[in-house]
Chains A and B, each alone.
Chain A
Amino acid sequence: MTHNTIKKITSKTLIYLVLILHSIMIIAPLLLMILSSLKKSRAIFQEPFGLPKPVHWGNFEKLFVQQNYLSYFANSIIVTLFALATIIVFASLASYAIGKYSFKGNAQVYTFFILGLMIPIRLGTINIMQMFITMDLFNKLLALVIVYAAMGIPAGIMILTGFIRDIPDELSDAARIDGCSETGIFIRIIVPLLSPAIVVAAVYNLMPIWNDFWFPLVLINKDQLSTIPLATARLFGKHETDFGLLYAILTAAAIPPIALFVGLSKYFIKGLTSGAVKG
């Protein structure tokens, strides 16, 4: 008995040790990044691990006042919101059709969409770029909205179809008998029931869109239209010699998604696992 207890305690200690060590590995670089962003460049070299004393806000001042950083932020927000809205509207409509209408080729249509989860959209970059040039959308945020919407539709459909299939048919049948139109059924019955899934699907697509670097790199080369990841890279290249500012650039780019994730982690985890665990 005592032998077993000892064994249990040591194994528990070991478990905590591994988990805590890994936690330190996760936190340390981020913490150092934040601390360094609050120091002058010289202090970063002299005391890399010390606390900033006094706290130096100059790096952030440079970033937000001189670099017009908030406009990059606005670009990211606009692109992400509109891409997500498009994904949600288009994917919930399609998922409704796939999940609630039995028709010939239903399974094939689903597979057609799900295929997109397996193929990275960037393989089509050349043609995407050409299309936007002919549509006169090169260097426009709308181009990013479109490409992200297309990119997010497969995952949106995967998540939403799963939920829609679980909605009992009786509800819509009853509404139909009451004389409700097809559009009415979708908007009044399905959408309200679907809203938790809509949140999951939106959150699932949020990070890949917010964090994408590839498409802004290829489709946007006007500085004022940069999204946060592209702006980070451009600013990083421009100010490579100003270490305090570099850390401030990275911190400013890292904090919002981290905060967002911590706030929405419940939906994140649901979205990530909904496809996988359901099979």
Chain B
Amino acid sequence: MKRTRIVWLVLALLMVGTLIWAGGGKEAASDDSGAVVLRYTSLRTEDQERENSKNAEFTKLFPNIKIQFEAIKDTEYDTVLKTSLETGVAADIVMLRSFDGGRQIYDGGYLVELNDIIPGMHDTFTANSIATWATEDGVMYGVPYFGSITGVWYNIDIFNKYGLKEPETWAEFIAICEKLKNAGETVFAHGTKDQWAITETLYCDLGPNFYGGEDSRQKLMAKEIKYTDPKFVKAYEKIGELVKYFPSGYQGIDYVTMQQMFLNEQAAMFIAGSWELGIIRDAEVNAGWFPPPVEKKGDPLHYAFYADLALGINKNTEHMEEAIEFLKWVASPDHAKLLANALPGMFPTLKIHYDIDDALALEIIESTQMSHVVPTGQLMWEKLSLEEPSGETLQNEAVQRFLNGTFTAKQAVEYVQKGLDTWYFK
């Protein structure tokens, strides 16, 4: 009898003890050396080591501040960021998506206004990239981190094997596909399982040359044209021509599988963004790059080169001074140089010139400076995705259904327009 009582007592004590322990657990905001640990959250899980080595340079300048890089998978990032800001447990420095994604966070009241805190941003960054994270009244809430370029990666060894050259026009592009397919190669590392990937790296990568690039994007935003415009239909039809060169079972191939196929040299081409250069270098693939093919020689090249991600400061951070110090550093040209070389393929959106060591990164950025280039951005990211059904969600679904063969091009654009009609075009 006595024994049971003791057991119960011990159990109860243990429970109370651990509950207190489990309930407490406030995080140590400084490490053993007494330095402040600044938490910085990102959606780039691929960059853990590259970020760490880059941010170590900051700690060299400010030995009392350490940067703790915490990456969350991109498909979960937005949910985690929103809830952690709302519940007061977010990191000190947060990564912001461009336009509506970042704007939602700012409108939620979670971000520090940077206009007075970080001076000189207008002298450093392009006006476009600043506007991506600013309100109509000019309130800035994000320091532009990097811009992305979308185009086509190719495996140089495979291209050489068949004597292929980088295509300039769509016809040349299709001819290459045909040749590779007939030779029994897997032409594209591409699938349709991840919706975001096929929009960002297919419709808004190869599509702009057919839907009219930036001009059409602006007109759509201004409601001067609708998504059912024949130009958008044509872009669908054009990217649809590539489906027959996709690997078998492409409907089940997700973005990670796409990356892996290209990195393992199992496919000749990979339609994606410049942000892949880091892992391509890690995997030591002999890769080349060409911009989205134009329809006819002499056409303007509508090239997606857009401010992609920025960093903001969590309003509720306990380390405001340190966070500001860090963002000041991020906004400096010195950081831009570091970033461009530590994270190749991510291009700081600077006004001023900066050196890039990586030859391919240099080639990519230089390709955007060709005379016939008209830069553009992602079609649905600005204004069109501020409410549900968001343009991005609708377009993602439409592109997937179209490429899987459940929608015709016409049905795809009508579907998206129908959704936008419920709020944007109302």
Which positions in A face B, CB cutoff 8 Å? 45, 78-79, 82, 85-86, 133, 137-142, 145, 187-188, 191-192, 218, 221-223, 225, 234, 237-241
In the bound complex, residues from chain A placing their C-beta under 8 Å from that of B73 are 234, 237-238, 240
Residues of chain B within 8 A (CB-CB) of A139 are 87, 89
Residues of A contacting B5 with CB < 8 Å? 187
- A241-B259 CB under 8 A given contacts A86-B15, A142-B23: yes
B25 lies within 8 A of A238 (CB) = no
Cα-based distance from A113 to B88 in the complex (angstroms): 34
Interface residues of B in 57-114 (CB under 8 A from A): 70-73, 75-76, 80, 83-84, 86-89
For residue B183, CB closer than 8 A to chain A, the reply is: no
B contact residues around A218 at 8 Å (CB): 83
Given contacts A140-B22, A140-B25, contact A188 B4 (CB under 8 A): yes
Residues of A within 8 A of B86 (CB): 133
Given contacts A85-B15, A139-B87, contact A188 B1 (CB under 8 A): yes
B86: nearest chain-A partner, CB-CB: A133
B160 within 8 A of A: no
Q: Please name the residue on chain A nearest to B282 by beta carbon.
A: A241
Nearest-neighbour CB distance to chain A for B425, whole angstroms, equals 31
Residues of B within 8 A of A188 (CB): 1, 4
The 3 closest A-B pairs by CB, nearest first: A237-B73, A141-B22, A142-B23
* B221 CB contacts on chain A under 8 angstroms: none
> CA of A240 to CA of B27 in the docked complex: distance in angstroms?
28
Q: How far is the CB of B314 from chain A (nearest CB, A)?
A: 14
- The listed residue (A138, A142, A237) touching B45 by CB distance below 8 A is A237
CB-defined contacts of B127 to chain A, threshold 8 Å = none
**What's the minimum C-beta distance from A198 to chain B, rounded to whole angstroms?**
12
Q: Which of A138, A142, A221, A222 contacts B22 (CB 8 A)?
A: A142
Cα A241 to Cα B45 in complex, Å, equals 11
CB pair A221–B23 under 8 Å, yes or no, is no
Q: Which residues of B contact A145 (CB under 8 A)?
A: 19, 22
Apart from the given pairs A133-B87, A140-B23, 20 other A-B contacts in the complex at a CB distance below 8 Å: A78-B18, A78-B22, A82-B19, A133-B88, A139-B87, A140-B25, A141-B25, A142-B19, A142-B23, A145-B19, A145-B22, A188-B1, A188-B4, A221-B80, A222-B89, A223-B70, A237-B45, A240-B256, A241-B259, A241-B260
Are A85 and B4 interface neighbours, CB within 8 A?
no
Q: Is B222 an interface residue (CB 8 A)?
A: no
Using an 8 Å CB-CB cutoff, how does the interface string of B250-286 with A read, 1 for contact, 0 for none?
0000001001100110000000000000010000000
Show 24 residue pairs from A and B whose CB-CB distance is below 8 angstroms, ordered by the A residue.
A45-B264, A82-B18, A82-B19, A82-B22, A86-B15, A138-B87, A138-B89, A140-B23, A142-B22, A145-B22, A187-B4, A187-B8, A192-B4, A221-B84, A222-B89, A223-B70, A225-B25, A234-B72, A237-B45, A237-B76, A238-B45, A240-B73, A241-B256, A241-B263
Instruction: Specify the chain B residue showing the minimal Cβ separation from A139.
Output: B89
A212 to B114 alpha-carbon distance, docked (Å): 41
Expressed in whole angstroms, the minimum distance between the Cβ of A253 and any Cβ of chain B is 17
Question: When chains A and B are docked, how far (Å) is the Cα of A82 from the Cα of B16?
Answer: 9
Contacts of A237 in B (CB 8 A): 45, 72-73, 75-76
Q: How distant is the Cα of A187 from the Cα of B8 in the complex, in angstroms?
A: 9
Cβ-closest chain A residue relative to B255: A240
Of the listed residues B27, B73, B75, B279, the one surrounded by the most CB atoms of chain A closer than 10 A to its CB is: B73
Total residues of chain B contacting the partner, CB 8 A: 34
B11 at the binding interface (Cβ < 8 Å): yes
Residues on the A chain within 8 Å of B264, using CB = 45
B16 to chain A, nearest CB (A): 10
* B3 nearest CB across to chain A (Å): 10
Min CB distance, A68 to chain B, in Å?
13
Which residues of the other chain, B, contact A82 by a CB distance below 8 angstroms?
A: 15, 18-19, 22
- State the Cβ distance, B261 to closest chain A Cβ, in Å: 11
Residues of A within 8 A of B70 (CB): 223
Q: For residue B24, which residue of chain A has the nearest CB?
A: A140
Contact B260 A238 (CB under 8 A): no
A238 to chain B, nearest CB (A): 5
Q: A49 CB to closest chain B CB, in angstroms?
A: 19
Which residues of the partner chain B approach A142 to less than 8 Å between Cβ atoms? 19, 22-23
Identify which of B8, B19, B80 gathers the most chain A CB atoms within 10 Å of its CB: B19
Alpha-carbon distance between A142 and B24 when the two chains are bound, in angstroms: 9
Residues from chain B with Cβ under 8 Å of A240 in the complex:
73, 256
Q: Within the assembled complex, what's the spacing in Å between the Cα atoms of A82 and B71?
A: 30
Residues of the B chain whose Cβ atoms lie less than 8 Å from the Cβ of A191: 4, 8
CA distance A241 to B48 in the complex (A): 14
Q: Report the minimum CB–CB distance from A161 to chain B (whole Å).
A: 21
The residue on B at minimum CB distance from A184 is: B1
Counting chain A CB atoms within 10 Å of each CB, which of B1, B8, B24, B87 scores highest?
A: B87
- Residue on A nearest B83 in the bound complex, by CB: A221
Given the complex of chains A and B, what is the CA–CA distance between A37 and B256 in angstroms? 19
How far is A238 from B49 in the complex, measured between Cα atoms in Å? 12
Nearest B residue (CB) for A189: B1
Q: How far is the CB of B54 from chain A (nearest CB, A)?
A: 19
Q: Which residues of A contact B260 (CB under 8 A)?
A: 241
> Within the complex, what minimum Cβ distance (angstroms) separates A97 from chain B?
18
Q: Given the complex of chains A and B, what is the CA–CA distance between A109 and B87 in angstroms?
A: 36
Chain A nearest Cβ from B27, distance in angstroms: 8
**How far, in angstroms, from A188 to B5 measured CA to CA in the complex?**
8
The distance in angstroms between the C-alpha atoms of A162 and B295, with both chains bound, is 76
Cα distance A48–B22 in the bound complex, in angstroms: 42
> Which interface residue of B19, B22, B23 has the most chain A CB atoms within 10 A?
B22
Contacts of B27 on A, CB cut-off 8 Å? 222
State in angstroms the CA–CA spacing of A98 and B80 once bound together: 43
- List of B residues within 8 angstroms of A45 by Cβ: 264
Instruction: Looking at the assembled complex, report how far the CB atom of A96 sits from the nearest CB atom of chain B, in whole angstroms.
Output: 14
Residues from chain B with Cβ under 8 Å of A137 in the complex? 23
